Structure 1
């Protein structure tokens, strides 16, 4: 397997939600700590840590139960804080849900930026990006579930977030630059749209997680063995590369 792609896969698998810096929502800095007599005794007032804890638990809750099914009471109990503090930081259940979406997109986009695709030859850069996308989505099923849930809402809450829209500009720019370098070098064919290419990469990686159980049940295949995952990964990378080759 290509060494840069291997490194990208390891980065995708090793990222931990607790290590992520919480993005300030709607351009506002985190609020100062508020006294919370309902919180567990002895818990220190650390806004950044508290918000990160809440986001980590809320991510799992919203991914598993959706916006309608998740309960602020349960999130408060699991984070050893209170509804009052959650509302203080995030204003509402919908505000917390949007913050979770922002955090999820922030994480993947930050790692993509660290791939340094500009330092690689075009085809190698493309293979690295596709391999990373496949590995990241495989290692982060909660991200897939959040996206599926938000699609059930027809993108209503993502549309409210200027942060998410801004976060996704760099990946399109990166795809465009890799593609244009490949066209200039004569290795990629012309007339491919960068957003369409990004959609194809995402779709091939997304389906592998979102539809694994139904696809496996229908066609009587076990799709989660290391051998099956490696074979599917190689197929996805090759499909995208062959699609672009001149």
Structure 2
């Protein structure tokens, strides 16, 4: 009887914890196999849940994929907010943003895989994610404010579109990392060695700052 009493609290169902486990398992499955290749049975096994629970929390596989995509974008935006870029001097803020993008992609390859997958589906899930659009809009607004401060200090030129800047910062890290295997063959160098990664990060920072200078 004592044993039962001891185990009981641990066995209580925690809906939020179950939902998190399902999302984590689904993220891995979708990143590896995409929406079409992912299997709900595998996700359930990974999450130590059952299919009924998945359908209860998310509706169907399509809705689960949308939840995973939304969480992926919310996660990167939340991580960026922790940088507190608005408190940094403009040049240092841009350096931090470039470095963050590089490091985040490096540490979260699943994010890149999910973005690739969503592009294959022409962003049909992201179109329905109004929260993501609003959060990203605030991020662009913050970058614009950094640029304006830089213009005021005479360190940035005044004609830079913040959206184009964000696309460029993402692109120079995204391309390098998503093409690291083919690039290592084509360019005959190990693009993912410690030395190569550090060289590329410095190149990225220098490239963006040159683009912004008056």
* Fold shared, TM-score > 0.5 on shorter chain: yes
In structure 2, the residue matched to 1:117 is: 85
Aligned to 1:80: 48
Q: Shift of residue 43 of structure 1?
A: 5.1
Instruction: Identify the residue that residue 220 of structure 1 maps to in structure 2.
Output: 188
- Partners of 2:24 and 2:47 within 8 A in 1: no
Unaligned runs of 5+ in 2: 1-9
Q: Which residue of 2 aligns with 1:198?
A: 166
CA contact (8 A) 2:105 2:111 kept: yes
CA deviation map 1:12-46 (0-9, x unaligned): xxxxxxxxxxxxxxxxxxxxxxxxxxxxxx85411
Aligned to 1:145: 113
* Secondary structure of 2:160's aligned partner: coil
Provide Cα deviations, 1:148-196, integer angstroms capped at 9, x if missing partner.
1111111111112112212212210111011110011110011111111
Greater share of helix residues, 1 or 2?
2
Q: Are 2:65 and 1:66 equivalent residues in the alignment?
A: no
Map Cα deviations across residues 30-82 of structure 1 (whole Å, 9 max, x no partner).
xxxxxxxxxxxx85411111111111111011011000000001100111111
Aligned match for 1:105, one of 38, 57, 73:
73
TM-score normalised by length of structure 1: 0.81
TM-score, structure 2 as length reference = 0.93
Moved more, 153-162 or 62-71: 153-162
Q: What is the aligned counterpart of 1:159 among 97, 107, 127? A: 127
Structure whose CA Rg is larger = 2
> Hey, what's the Cα distance between the residues in 1 that align with 2:210 and 2:11?
55
Q: Which residue of 1 aligns with 2:4?
A: none
d(CA) in 2 for partners of 1:176, 1:47: 40
Q: Which residue of 1 aligns with 2:203?
A: 235
Q: What stretches of structure 1 of length at least 5 have no aligned partner?
A: 1-41
Higher relative contact order (CA 8 A, sep 6+): 1
- Separation (CA, whole Å) in 2 of partners of 1:64 and 1:166: 28
Q: State how many pairs are aligned.
A: 205
Partner of 1:95: 63
CA contact (8 A) 1:138 1:208 kept: no
